[in-house]
Amino acid sequence: MHINMKPNAVPICYDLHSHSTCSDGTLSPAKLVERAADQGVNVLALTDHDTTEGLEEAGEVARRVGLTLVPGVEISASWQGRVIHVVGLHIDPVNRALQAGLKLLRQRRTERGREIGIRLENAGIKGAFEGASRFVGGSILSRTHFARYLVASGYVADISKAFRKYLGRNKPGHVVCEWVELEQCVDWILGAGGQAVIAHPARYPVGSGVMRTFLHEFRQHGGEAIEVVTGSQKPQDRERFARFANEFGLFASSGSDFHGPEYPWRELGRLETLPAACEPIWHSWPATDERGCASGMV
């Protein structure tokens, strides 16, 4: 849990990365916000994959339970042929260019889903596209929905095996997909008045040299922050990305990447503290700092 002691000693717990049933989480936006409040989170960002449709419901419940909701999104992007996730915080959800872009990504997800269905069919798994679609709770089709179908149909014992055996890189159901280029992705976020944050950097299989090139380009495009603390990362990752954040003048963010209570190792608000050398992204939010855990959206 990140506790930020304000001068008046009110601790603020931030969780700036989470998912609902509008993408591949298992709690509705309302239940997610209620759970976050129960876990002691004061400031929560809902960051569903390639959709903002849960923000309205989440905002209503946030006002009711006295939690500050940061409107967010997690965008699937491509950089040098690699898949990179970029979180947008404080985006304006009605921004037209952003919404047009997200719609395009959702269409790509559906096209990719059909192709995944065909590949799985060739691997002896019937009806995967329709099966996965039955697990969709919003407007995006994710590999997670395929994983849930594979578990429910008894092909694998759990979600992680579904990725290891069928859906991960170079597995029978894996389909390479062109998402939005990094620069365009950051443009959408900035154009919607938001801040671009590199999600879970430890999950990208690149060495320090490539990581530096990536961070340099991200910064040049107007990206502002990187997740220094995320759910399920190794202890050394926090220090490594804190150093990168400082080297590239990026703010540090902190978020669980919560997907549901079925994944107990990634609970809302249960995050390590940011290293003292980091500049937390919320230091760039004057309204939040003044209002602390005021209710409603900031």
Residues within the interface to ligand AMP (CB under 6 A): 24, 49, 76, 142-144, 159-160, 163, 259
Indicate the residue among 47 and 288 with the shorter CB distance to ligand AMP.
47
Q: Tell me which of Mn ion, ligand AMP, none is bound by residue 52, counting a contact when its beta carbon lies within the kind-specific cut-off of 5 to 8 angstroms.
A: none
Which residues 174-233 are close enough to bind Mn ion by CB under 5 A? 199
24 binds Mn ion (CB under 5 A): yes
Indicate the residue among 63 and 174 with the shorter CB distance to ligand AMP.
174
- For residue 247, the minimal CB distance to ligand AMP (Å) is 27
- For residue 258, the minimal CB distance to Mn ion (Å) is 8
- For residue 81, the minimal CB distance to ligand AMP (Å) is 15
First to last CA, the chain: 21
Indicate the residue among 180 and 293 with the shorter CB distance to ligand AMP.
180
- For residue 27, the minimal CB distance to ligand AMP (Å) is 14
- For residue 99, the minimal CB distance to Mn ion (Å) is 20
Indicate the residue among 13 and 87 with the shorter CB distance to ligand AMP.
87
Angle of helix 96-122 versus helix 143-152 axis, rounded to 10: 40
Indicate the residue among 25 and 293 with the shorter CB distance to Mn ion.
25
85 binds Mn ion (CB under 5 A): yes
Binding site for Mn ion (CB under 5 A): 24, 74, 85, 199, 257
